[in-house]
Structure 1
Amino acid sequence: MALELTSLFGPRRDDTVGTMAQGLQGSEILRIAAEIRELVAQGRQVCNLTVGDFDPRHFPIPQALVSGITAGLAAGETNYPPSDGMPALRQAVQRFYERALGLKYPLESVLITAGARPIIYGVFRTVLNPGDTVVYPVPSWNNNHYVHMMGARPVEVKTDAALGFMPTVEQLAPHLSEARLLCLCSPLNPTGTMISPEALRDIGQRVLAENRRREAAGARPLLVLFDQIYWTLTFGERRHVTPLELVPELAPYTVFVDGISKAFAATGVRVGWALGPPSIISRMKDVLGHVGAWAPKAEQVAVARFLDDTAATSTFLDAMRQHLNERLVALHQGFTAMREAGLPVRSIEPQGAIYLSVQFNLVGQGALRTNTDIRKLLLERAGFALVPFQAFGLQEDTGWFRLSVGAVSMEEIRAALPRVEAVLREVAG
């Protein structure tokens, strides 16, 4: 007979967990997802633009990866991999970066992890002491939560829609002298925008100047975490650039965050990689080894083979960009037409990643006082689900939202836009 435990737990007690966990905020996106599930369960039609993920019905992973993972499992690749990753995959990533980005790293600079999140956690955990300052722009993904977990000091730099929510050197410079870590991301989650080469060069040169000053003073350097998990997904004439392409002397201070999650629609396959100074990468390997944050062995073997198949990767990425751009452009054109018709909405032209930034300028219209009010209105009245920028650290109710297109079809987008327009006409009319 099983022991019934429910009655023994009693009411929830916060004193059973530490102060870090008590103060850690849960995911706003997951809370929104619960509302969407409830509406769908009621039979409502919902265009779900909330999740930064891919629906395999619309964006399946490459067949070569499916075959490679299956073959790896059949061959018995099911035990622990090396803590820094399978040598074949580390070498494949090394070749991939040299071939695609013109960056020739030594092998000891490459670390394989279970997706990109452990890399970000690993950088924070490896380089920060409690109380160290972390500078990052807002909106941006999860920097505030990692800062909280490390007991670090956040400096949030609010960015401007006119510049695609990308930071400038003028905005960052006043804070760099006290910072230990600067976090940058391009293409950016949540905005789908990219930093310009000129802005990135200016920031890189300022970081380099700061580190030369610190070296002369015998102080710890300012490090850069550069998240480029979306770098293969760019649209139009936009071209991704790295800090090292523009300021090569930044190499000793920069750690890249990357992997297959977004490029190959493989968020659940869990293979990511970091590239950076060997002195940091070796300690990250030790930190993450204790966490057990390595990617599964069969997946590593399959990804190594796939990255070296340049024809297959290029073909897949071309199709991936086409399908994403089609969805993003349809949304952007729809909102542009609404704006031209006098409705209070605007969007930023797609540049990269899987996201579109849209502003519904409805705060102050009737009972609409916050982004949450706007979000619930669009969800309940138009079946249109999106995420406010508050989920990405921007506190003000400005009407800006992230729309993610990896889990919707073109048909869903075409059906949803007239519903949104009808709601806007009614509210603004």
Structure 2
Amino acid sequence: MTEQPIAERLDDVETAVQKGRKKIDWARQHMSIVEHLREQFEAEKPLEGETIAMAMHVEATTAVLTEALAAAGAEVAITGCNPLSTHDDVSAALNATDNITSYAKRGVDDEAYYDAMHAVVDHDPTITIDDGADLVFLIHEEYPELIDSIVGGCEETTTGVHRLRAMDDDGALDYPMFAVNDTPMKRLFDNVHGTGEASLTAIELTTNLAIAGKTVVVGGYGQCGKGVAKKAAGLNADVVVTEIDPRQALEAHMEGFEVLPMKEAANKGDIFVTTTGNRDVITEEDFEVMGDGVLLANAGHFDVEINLEQLEEMAEEVIEARDGVTGYVLPDGRQLNVLADGRLVNLAAPKAEGHPVEVMDQSFGIQAVCAREMALNGAEYDAGVHDVPDRLDREVAEIKLDAEGIEIDELSDEQREYMDSWQHGT
């Protein structure tokens, strides 16, 4: 059965809309890039006639982006990309906005989650904006008739880009997608500062426990893992990194972190944070040697990094230790605590707000200009995964610097000629 917009599923829609609008307005005050673009979009209407389907974390910063796209002339249908990351009040406020229909609701089961995604696709999109690639995959699997009318899309996450590149390698991706995650204005800020700060903040808010003085084990030293490790060290934790890539392991070592296999790190850690985008980062052999009271959190997109099926099989009892914390009591009395059901902790934990607003402003600025690029120049891109054009990445950086009142140097003609020439030698 196709899901109804969220307004049909809330008891007090008016109150929810008011609360959501406050959250959105607060975020908007701190999102100078998207606000700058929204003003341009309102004047120029670059998305006039487009229908945009979105599967995102529906919270306040996402709402600011969504309203900017609607202001650009698009009809927008949006749903969640994770069952626990939606803010119902924000979803209701979006649904009350002209040209936007929101199907996102927190805490839905898998069937309702995909019913809502089907409802979004039923709007017959011409552009898709995805977080995790579930929407793109659904369209390819069940709505192939729509592909010819879709000019392109954007993907936000590490996990989603991995999926899209795998589709592309198999010749299964039939329309162009921008790898928003991989562009500098996203990965150097959102992945490092956003994931790092937001994940640790969510752990502290969920548990009311300190980071300082504890040993934090970070699974993976990609951009997200670097952020978690560096922020944890800044909070005076001892940090251990686990890795499968020799270069990233060496980088972690050279930056002062202890590097161990997970099976050796497991009996040292107090807090575990997975950031790999892969499955089974922490498994039964690790649970067997962990200390009593450890905290297990995942900062990757899907809930597969901590093998909860194995942990549940091992447990003698499963309890709600605290709101957002599930305690798995083992036969020997040890209790291993999983935060946010193993879903991405910075958004799925009960008090989590996601990445800081200013960080998401940069990422969503990239999403906005990429949607504009697909609408205006989509015919120039073949099916497959594309890097974000450097001119768009620089445009967003320049908007941010201007908003911050930061000036930088410019190359002189002589410097530019020197850098462009191969003829200058010793």
TM-score (norm 1): 0.31
With a CA cutoff of 8 Å and minimum separation of 6, indicate the structure with the bigger relative contact order.
1
TM-score (norm 2): 0.31
